[in-house]
Structure 1
Amino acid sequence: MLSRVADSLYWLARYTERADNLARLVEVNLQLLLDFKDLDNDKLKEHWDPVIRSTGDEERFYELYDEANSQTVTDFLTFNRENPNSVIGCISAARENARMIRDQISSELWETLNNLYLFLKSNDAKHIWEHSGAYEFYDHIKDHSLRFQGLVAATLPRDECYDFMQFGRFIERADKTTRMLDIKYHILLPSPSDVGGAVDTAQWVALLRAASAYDAYHAQYLANIDPANVAEFLIFSDTFPRSIRYCVTQINARLHNISGCPWGSYSNEPEKLCGKLMSDLIYSNVQDVIGFGMHEWLDQCQERLNEISQATYQTYMFQKPIDLAEEIQQQQQQQQ
């Protein structure tokens, strides 16, 4: 497979997954506001600032807007084309990557992605937003994302094309799970006195809903919402598809499928880095994470995921610039 094709497949999957996660994050935070009373500008800023920080676009946001509130943040993360990580920015980038490799993906996959892109640009999207509300709009985004994921599973052969797409998808998903956990655990809680209260519980429920984990969590933990159990479920579950451990296991599987290297060993840097992270997740628990520091652990996990991504890019997708003078000299030497 050409390195440029692998790169486009990787980013196609990452951008569609990112758009889906953004839709979930914004929708749940809008719903969470319903549990608060007497919201002033300071409380709205306190609520939305962590969401902006979690995307890594805080500097760009404050270049475009004066304050963080429901209107400015949802616009920035959904419709603003000056933000490449907005929903419409991600879908546009995903469509462009898909356009360059249409011969590598199914026609159904292309049509679904293109229809979502056209919807976001159309008056229909604005009509749903203005008249039906943000929740129906974000449900529309999530439905298209689930359809896209289903078509990937149903229409693509299990070859390198599929593996690069799944690698991009689970890298993005693991990263977003760490960021959503960090928002709740490290930033959103106003004061220690709120621990265990109604607001605290509402926030943990919102976190589970953002990860589509509410029902799966209650199937495993029959008791009420417990912060340690929520963290353990979203980090260490080996069966829930949005937990960090599950995502890293899938990343490891895709890397070994691509290289052909058997499990239990490694043949390149990304496999080595991923194997170390997976081992730490297998042999750790939530008490280890809390003892280390939840925010510090999540931040370190994000850095390790970025290292795996960068190493994979260097191994499979990076194209070294051609030195034409050296190339001509080598050809002349061969001819002589």
Structure 2
Amino acid sequence: MLSRVANSIYWLNRYIERADNIARFVDVNLNLMLDLPSHLAQQWHPLVITTGDSEFFKARYGEATAENVIQFLTFDPDYPNSILSALRVARENARSIREIISSEMWEDVNNFYLMVKDAESVKHIDMMPDLFAQVKRYSHRFAGVMDATMTHNEGWHFGKMGRLLERADKTMRILDVKYFILLPSADWVGTPLDQLQWIALLKSASAYEMYRKQQNRINPTAIAEFLILDRHFPRSINFCISQTEKSLYEITQTPMGTWSRSPERALGRLSAQLGYLVIEDVIEDGLHEFLEQMQGSINTISNEIALTFFNTEPVLA
């Protein structure tokens, strides 16, 4: 497969997944505003911190109000990680490989972008929940259309790797922000406010219902274990990394358990680490420190994939 084609399929899926994740945690924050006391309801700055682009936001908008943060994360054409910008780049990637992907995939990406573009002209905070619900549905539909209409060859596996690495990245960011920033004081730990925020975190990862099927109580350690180490939940970090590793080995045809390229080695090390971890080790070493180390590992994997298969210098996005 041409490196240009592999690169486009990989980033097409990453940007679709990015739009989905942004819609998810902004939507959950909107819902959280309805449950929190009025003096705590405007917790919008943590969402900007989650993106890692606080300085860019501050220079363009200043105060982190609901309107400013929603505009920044949803419609800002100059912010490369807004929903609109992500879908614009996804559509350009899809356009460049129309002969490779199915016509249904192209139509879905094109309609997805146009739907958000049209919403920009009539945006209002009361309309945002409906828009974010549509973004999530379009993202899920695209993944389903890709699985159902595209041959599961190298290109399909590159797309799957892009989607899963992006998903793991956002799960880590959301978990880290809640642990250190959203709770206004240590005195709130264990209170109804604390529980509301942990529930919001689970919902932002579409994990609330699956978590409650395993656990009867909202427990921060159990939630961290579920989102980091669960082997079967499709948005846990462990699941995303293990499935990414399987797709990588399908592409390289290297026997599992061995490695011949740097991405295989980097993914194998991270997958093995997650496979043998217990949550007590994570808490003992510090959740924030663990997530920072995971973030560095995923960035390394992304860079190695770019250098090995796309023949380009990686762009940190």
Normalising by structure 2, we get a TM-score of 0.96
C-alpha distance in structure 1 between counterparts of 2:249 and 2:18, whole Å: 24
* CA–CA distance in structure 2, aligned partners of residues 22 and 9 of structure 1: 20
Q: Which amino acid in 1 is paired with 2:18?
A: R
For 1:100, the equivalent position in structure 2 comes to 96
**C-alpha distance in structure 1 between counterparts of 2:272 and 2:129, whole Å:** 39
2:38 aligns with: 38
Amino acid across the alignment from 2:268: G
Report if the CA contact (8 A) 1:3-1:319 is conserved: no
Q: Say if 2:125 is the partner of 1:141.
A: no
Whole-angstrom distance in 2 between the partners of 1:131 and 1:68 = 15
Distance 1:60 1:269 in 2: 33
Describe how 1:287-302 pairs up with structure 2 within 5 A: 287-302=280-295
Matched, 1:283 2:279: no
Structure 2 Cα separation of the partners of residues 220 and 319 of structure 1:
43
Matched letter for residue 82 of structure 1: D
Native 8 Å contact 2:67 2:125 kept in 1: no
Q: Name stretches of at least 5 consecutive residues in structure 1 with no aligned partner.
A: 321-336
Asked if structure 2 preserves the Cα contact closer than 8 Å seen for 1:163 and 1:258, the reply is: yes
Question: 1:162 is paired with a residue of what secondary structure?
Answer: helix
Corresponding residue for 1:305? 298
Segments of structure 2 that go 5 or more residues without pairing to the other structure are none
> C-alpha displacement at 1:132, in angstroms?
5.8
Q: 1:126 to 1:143 in 2, by over 3 A?
A: farther
Distance 1:29 1:263 in 2: 41
Give the match for residue 223 of structure 2.
230
Residue aligning to 2:146 = 152
Q: Is the 8 A contact 2:112 2:138 kept in 1?
A: yes
Q: How does 1:118-129 map to 2 (within 5 A)?
A: 118-122=114-118, 124=119, 126-127=121-122, 129=123
Q: Residue 44 of structure 2 aligns to a residue in which SS?
A: helix
Q: CA deviation at 1:82?
A: 1.0
Partner secondary structure for residue 133 of structure 1: helix
The 2-side partners of 1:32 and 1:287 are apart by 29
User: Number of aligned pairs?
Assistant: 313
TM-score scaled to structure 1, two decimals?
0.90
Q: CA deviation at 1:172?
A: 0.2
Matched, 1:181 2:172: no
Give 1:126 shift: 4.1
Aligned to 1:9: 9
AA at the equivalent of 1:208: L
Task: Return closer, same or farther for 1:53/1:132 CA change in 2, 3 Å cut-off.
Answer: closer
Give yes or no for the alignment of 1:269 onto 2:265: no
> 8 Å contact 1:125–1:137 — kept in the other structure?
no
Whole-Å separation in 1 of the counterparts to 2:252 and 2:109: 29
Letter in 2 for 1:226: N
Quick one: which amino acid aligns to residue 38 of structure 1?
S
Give 1:256's aligned amino acid: Y
Superposed CA RMSD in Å reads 1.4
* Counterpart position of 2:239: 246
Paired position in structure 2 for 1:214:
208
2:125, 2:302 → 1: CA distance? 41
Cα distance in 2 between the residues matched to 1:161 and 1:104: 8
Using the TM superposition, name which of 311-320 and 150-159 deviates more: 311-320
1: CA distance, partners of 2:297 / 2:281 = 18
2:36 & 2:184 partners in 1: Cα distance?
Answer: 12
- How far off is 1:9 after superposition? 0.8
> 2:75 touches 2:120 (CA, 8 Å); kept in 1?
no
- 1:325: which partner in 2? none
* CA shift digits 1:44-77 (9 cap, x unpaired): 3xx2222111111111101111200111001100
Distance in 2 (alpha carbons) for counterparts of 1:317 and 1:290: 37
> Which has the greater radius of gyration?
1
CA contact (8 A) 2:306 2:312 kept: no
**Offset of 1:7 from its aligned partner?**
0.8
Letter in 2 for 1:76: F
Partner secondary structure for residue 124 of structure 2: helix
Please say if residues 84 and 116 of structure 2, whose CA atoms lie closer than 8 Å, have aligned partners that are also in contact. yes
Identity among equivalent pairs (%): 45
Does the CA contact (< 8 Å) of 2:227 and 2:236 recur in 1? Answer: yes
Shift of 1:158: 1.1
User: Per-residue deviation at 1:318?
Assistant: 1.2
CA distance in 2 between partners of 1:319 and 1:201 (Å): 45
Q: CA offset at residue 39 of structure 1?
A: 2.6
- Report the Cα distance in structure 2 between the residues aligned to 1:265 and 1:67, rounded to whole angstroms: 51
Aligned partners of 1:183, 1:260: CA distance in 2, in Å? 38
